[in-house]
Structure 1
Amino acid sequence: MTQELIIDINTANRSGETAEIMRRYNDVFQRHDPSALDDLVAQDCVIENTTPAPDGARRAGKAACVELWSAIATAPGTRFDLEETFVAGDRATIRWRYWMADGNSLRGVNLMRVADGRIVEAMGYVKG
């Protein structure tokens, strides 16, 4: 008996779209240029941030999310090293290492969700 591989074209297409949105999102932090955020973030976006410990803060709405990510992207002397971006349908996982201006770093992960071509959810976690 042979097994048949079934590919869900809709999921594959969503994965491609999500991957492109995550590429553009990651570029914001790699280039320290938040100008693309306005096109990437949905009006109803929600972020669960990594700080303050232990549970982080919640930001809701496009303006609040763009403001937070813009501040992170443009913080002097900092950088993100991308370790991996994994996409499945409308979801993405981004593993990263964040280097602070003082030379210390921390590792973390963002769990992202996209709908209608924009980021609607981002939950950040860091290693303690």
Structure 2
Amino acid sequence: MTESPRTIHEVIDRYNAAFRLHDPTLLEDLIAEECVIEDTGPAPDGARHEGGPACLARWSELAGNQALNFSTEPADIAGDLAVAPWVLRWGQGKNDWVRGVNLIRIRDGRIVEARGYVKA
């Protein structure tokens, strides 16, 4: 029996859980081989990661980092694109946080593209 592809909502829920729970293993079968990530930093252009292994490594590094706290907000879905807002905290200080959004394109139950942006 062939497993049906995950819905975009299922992919986003599992992606967010990986960061919230600091469990990079939740990302392992969510990322397509042709995935491309455009990261939020370093400014102004960010970093680009190409290919499934590179994208998995980058996100696993972030998701596994216990010093970071990601809070997500409900994503808006338009076709194959999820607009997924979040807040990232790295400390208890007044300025130890940033608000951002990821634009995540999903095809056949896997992430093929992600672009991250932050409010400055």
- Could you say whether these structures have the same fold, taking a TM-score greater than 0.5 normalized by the shorter chain as the test? yes
**Residue 18 of structure 2: aligned partner:** 28
Bigger shift: 74-83 or 47-56? 74-83
**Residue 71 of structure 1: aligned partner:** 61
**Residue 107 of structure 1: aligned partner:** 99
The TM-score with structure 2 as length reference comes to 0.89
Per the alignment, in what secondary structure is the counterpart of residue 96 of structure 1?
Answer: strand
Which of 76, 83, 99 is the matching residue for 2:73? 83
The TM-score with structure 1 as length reference comes to 0.84
* Amino acid in the other structure paired with 1:109: V
Is it true that 1:120 corresponds to 2:104 in the alignment?
no
Bigger shift: 80-89 or 24-33? 80-89
Bigger shift: 79-88 or 55-64? 79-88
Q: Which has the higher helix share?
A: 1
**Residue 36 of structure 2: aligned partner:** 46
8 Å contact from structure 1 (residues 110, 124) kept in 2? yes
8 Å contact from structure 1 (residues 76, 101) kept in 2? no
**Residue 6 of structure 1: aligned partner:** none
Structure showing greater Rg: 1
| Structure 1 residue 36, shift from structure 2 partner | 1.8
Runs of 4+ in structure 1 displaced over 3 angstroms? none
Write the distance in 1 (CA, Å) between the matches of 2:86 and 2:11: 17
| Structure 1 residue 101, shift from structure 2 partner | 3.7
Write the distance in 2 (CA, Å) between the matches of 1:56 and 1:31: 25
Identity of aligned residues (%): 48
Per the alignment, in what secondary structure is the counterpart of residue 39 of structure 1?
Answer: coil
8 Å contact from structure 2 (residues 7, 109) kept in 1? yes
Task: Say what the alpha-carbon RMSD is for the aligned residues.
Answer: 1.6
Write the distance in 1 (CA, Å) between the matches of 2:71 and 2:33: 28
Write the distance in 1 (CA, Å) between the matches of 2:108 and 2:52: 14
> Mind listing any 5+ residue stretches in structure 1 that lack a counterpart?
1-13
> Mind listing any 5+ residue stretches in structure 2 that lack a counterpart?
none
* Alignment size in residue pairs: 114
